[in-house]
Every structure is written in structure tokens, then in C-alpha cells.
Chains A and B, each alone.
Chain A
């Protein structure tokens, strides 16, 4: 694999993604969703009090991105992380275009790395878009008031913004882990439905497992635990153990899924 080849392949994948309607719709939803949520909270009289920071959603604009983050961790991130990664490889099977892209001046490693980079870029941009949109919506619709953290301590707006940014940053490793899982399923099954749908189902099953008593080691192996590791940032004495552990577990998912996916693609015969 050489760097120009890998970057050329990533550029081609990004050009294809930009041309797809579903990708544009996803970004519009990522941008508009948090704004619609903030406006709805501002207009209605009740607040989502059973959600973390739900009670503060009309008192500090910095609570809005945290409520959105809590919701997205449960439902949206597995979808956002899989929607491109789970389709990039199987789409070549659907269109029959493997023989077209693999008979050019790029190796399979270049094509694989380019596609993975494009999928990771999409996951990164979608998470950043939701984060920026929800922070902007909170500050503009509710206001930049200080935030009361989980210990009941008042946090200054500047400090709250830093912690919100760190919280959103902390969900990138598990999001990338889900993207890698989607890539492996897309390569292995050659089906976009499986590539996108199975990671979402896996995410839901992991959430269910987290609610059930079971061996600690199983709970610790759940990549979804990393989506809620940011809670430790919003106490008087922040703790980072779950963040480090969650990032490590995400890294293991990422590496194992991508190695398996690459081996499958490398050994595959492109038949008729």
C-alpha cells in the first residue's frame, strides 16, 4: 500500500458519497435534529427529567448537547457509524463494480484503506455535525448559562463548553469501532442491509446486556459502554477510568474487525 494510492482511493470514495442523496439527507438530519430538539424544549412546558441533564435543558444551553449525546449514544451513533461503512463495500457487489475498480492501478490494500478512511471520515463528520449543531442550538435557543454538573456543582460556561467538547470527543472511538464492525459485515455478507442493520441490532443487544446482571468481563467487553463513559467528566472530581477502558475496547473492535475484513477482501475471487 502506498500513501498516494490510498489517498486517491479515499478521494474517489468521498466523491461518490457526496453524489449520493442519502448522504446529503443524513447530514441535513444531523444538522437540523438538535436545533429542532432545542426549539421544542424551549416551547413546551415539560422537560425530559428522567434523562441525564434533562432537568437543566431549559436552564443552561450546555445541557442541550448532553441530552442529545445521551439519546444519540443509545440510538443514533450505531446508525450514523454504520450507514456508510456498512454500504461502501457491499455497494460494489450490488452494482457489480468490483471488476471495474480492481482493474486499475491500485492494489486491494489501497482500495480497502481508501474506503475505510472515507467511512471513518463520514462517521467523524456526522458526529461533529451533531455536536456542533447541538451546542449551537443550546447556546442560541436556551443561552450560555453555567451548568450544574452531576455532583450539583455549578460549572462556568467556559468550563462547561470544554467538558461538553470532551464528552463528544469521547464517543468517537466507539463510533469508529461500530464503523469497523459495519465494514467487516459489509465485506463478509456482501449485503448493505446486513452491513447497516446488523451493527444497529448488535448495538441494541449490547444495551440490553448492560441492563442484565452478568459476568463483569462480558459487561466490560461491550463497546456500547464507551458511549456513556463521558459521565465521569461531569462530577466534582472527574474520573477517567471508563473513558480509557472504553477507548481500549473500541480500539480492539476496530483493529480486529478491520483485519478480518481486509483478509476477506484480499482472498476473495471476483467472479461473474
Chain B
């Protein structure tokens, strides 16, 4: 994303944004392109309003128009009350919102958002998603980079999964689902969940885990349809009654893990890092 925003030189290839070639890191960002990389940073001794006004001047906006736009954007991102407070006193979430306002100041037709909700509370994250959705509805392309698969699933229509810098999937979420193995995900409720779990562990092709009792209990089961049929019949033979079997679409997270599993396994064995999925990320377009 830093290459696309002209912050880091590319090793190879070309970057073309809204029809403009980005030749090097030395030039300005093309009009209509904006971005917010990781936690946004501002001058801590200036207020949020002053920071945005200076950025508007860098964009070449005249002072009166910029002042109106800054006020309106601060209101949109929920910072109107703290607009004249020095940014040094802002929380990480407030800086994230100010970063979004700074990006929106450029009236983007192409907006890059890198982990835009990582530092936000649920309400703040929801506001950011609403703004991203609204921009997309108005015709802008929003490129979102995130490790939060639930967020990607909720917001995005097209996604690209990168694993160690290589594209392992690119397409719509529906296309990703069709590529997935024919495994069925189901929520199973039985008369004896513990016995059902023991039986699942003895059967090839059936994966199961208990759902906490606080979430009404039961088991989450993944299996091919034939294996699931055989497992349900076996439960009856063992005297475990099936009270409910609810098939569910696979979550994006499980599909993502399937796509990156092989590389993670290899790398984990080499460098012994248990969280190597941090190197795998999905970037997706909200459209």
C-alpha cells in the first residue's frame, strides 16, 4: 500500500492510479487518490482543525473553501467537539478518525485504507465502515487492507488475498466460496455434546469443536457432506440424539486460513512463529 501511495519505491512492475502512471516516489499523489496508512500521524502541538487546514493548503485548496470542508469533515468523523484541542491529547481512535478526515479532504475517487478500524472502539469502527460504504455507494473505489476477515466480509465485494507478498486469490467473495473444498459447516446440537465430540474425533474427515455453553452450547462441525451424513447416522447408533443440525456458509476467515495454510505450516516449522498469518493479508475493494 505504501508503494501505491508513493511512499516506498517499487522493486519491479508499474503503478497506475486513476489512469495516471506513478513513475517514482518523488512526484505528488494524483488528484482524487487518498490514503490512510496504519495509525495516522499529525503534528501534536497543533489542533486537529489546524492540522487539517495545513494539509488542505498542501493540496492547494483556498483557505475559505478549506475551512468549510475541514469543519464539515470533523463533524462527519465525530471530532467536532475536540477540533480545537491539540492532537497530542488525542487517543489512538481519535487520530484514526482524523486520518480518515485528512484522506476525505482530497475528495477521493480512490481511497486506500490500511487497517482503518484497528484502533477504534466498536462504535468508532462502525462509523468508519459507514463512511467507507457511503463513499463506495457514491462511486469511489475503496481499497481496504485488513486482517479482520469479519470486517472484510461485511464491507467488501472483491478481495485479493496476499500471502508473503504473493497473490493467492483475487476475485469476489462468492468466487472464493466456490473455490473452497466441498466442506459443510454446521452447528450441531445433541443430547450429549461431549460424546458427540468424542465420536467426531474418531471419524476421518470430520472436525468438531464444542461451542461454549454461554453461547447455547452444541458443536461446530466441518465435514464433506458424505462424511457428515455418516457421522449423524453414527451418532444415532451410539445413542446420541441429534436435536438440531443447522448448515452455515463458511466464514471468510476459514477460507482465508485454507488459502494460506500450506505456507503457514512450512514457515512455522522453519522459523517457529505461531502467528505467521500476520504476513498474510487480504486487501479488498468496497464497491
**CB-nearest residue of chain A to B34:** A103
**Contact residue among A5, A9, A102 (Cβ-Cβ distance under 8 Å from B6):** A102
Minimum CB distance partner of B59 in chain A: A105
Q: A7–B230 Cα gap in the complex (Å)?
A: 75
Instruction: Contact check, A270 vs B8: say whether CB atoms are below 8 A apart.
Output: yes
Within 8 A of A (CB), among B4-57: 5-9, 25-29, 31, 34-35, 37-38, 40-46, 50, 54-55, 57
Q: A252-271: which residues lie under 8 A (CB-CB) from chain B?
A: 266-271
**Set B7, B46, B50, B57: member contacting A103, Cβ < 8 A:** B7
Query: How many CB-defined contacts (below 8 Å) exist between A and B?
Result: 97
Query: Would you call the interface of chain B mostly helix, strand, loop, or mixed?
Result: loop
CA–CA, A66 to B238, complex, Å? 105
With A103-B35, A105-B31 as given contacts, are A16 and B43 in contact (CB-CB < 8 Å)?
yes
Residues of B within 8 A of A270 (CB): 2, 7-8, 25
Cα separation A258 to B40 with both chains bound (whole Å): 29
Say how far A103's CB is from chain B's closest CB, in angstroms: 5
Chain B, residue nearest A102 (CB): B7
Chain A neighbourhood of B34, CB < 8 A:
103
Between B28, B31, B50, the greatest number of chain A beta carbons within 10 A of the residue's beta carbon is seen for: B28
B8/A271 in contact, CB under 8 A: yes
**Measured CA separation A270–B1 after assembly (Å):** 12
From A12, A267, A271, contact of B58 by CB (8 A): A12
Query: CA separation between A175 and B55, bound complex, in Å?
Result: 30
User: Contact string, A1-23, partner B, CB cutoff 8 A, digits 1/0?
Assistant: 00011001101100110011000
Chain A contributes a number of interface residues (CB within 8 A of B) equal to 33
With A99-B37, A269-B9 as known contacts, state yes or no: A104 contacts B29, CB within 8 Å. Answer: yes
Docked-complex contact A95 and B41, CB < 8 angstroms: yes
Across the two chains, which residue of chain B brings its CB closest to A270? B7
Residues from chain A with a CB closer than 8 A to the CB of B31 are 105
Q: Assess whether B45 is in contact with A20, with CB atoms less than 8 Å apart.
A: yes
Can you spell out 16 A-B residue pairs with CB atoms less than 8 angstroms apart? A9-B58, A11-B57, A15-B50, A15-B57, A20-B45, A97-B43, A98-B7, A100-B40, A100-B55, A105-B28, A105-B31, A105-B106, A109-B26, A269-B2, A269-B7, A269-B9
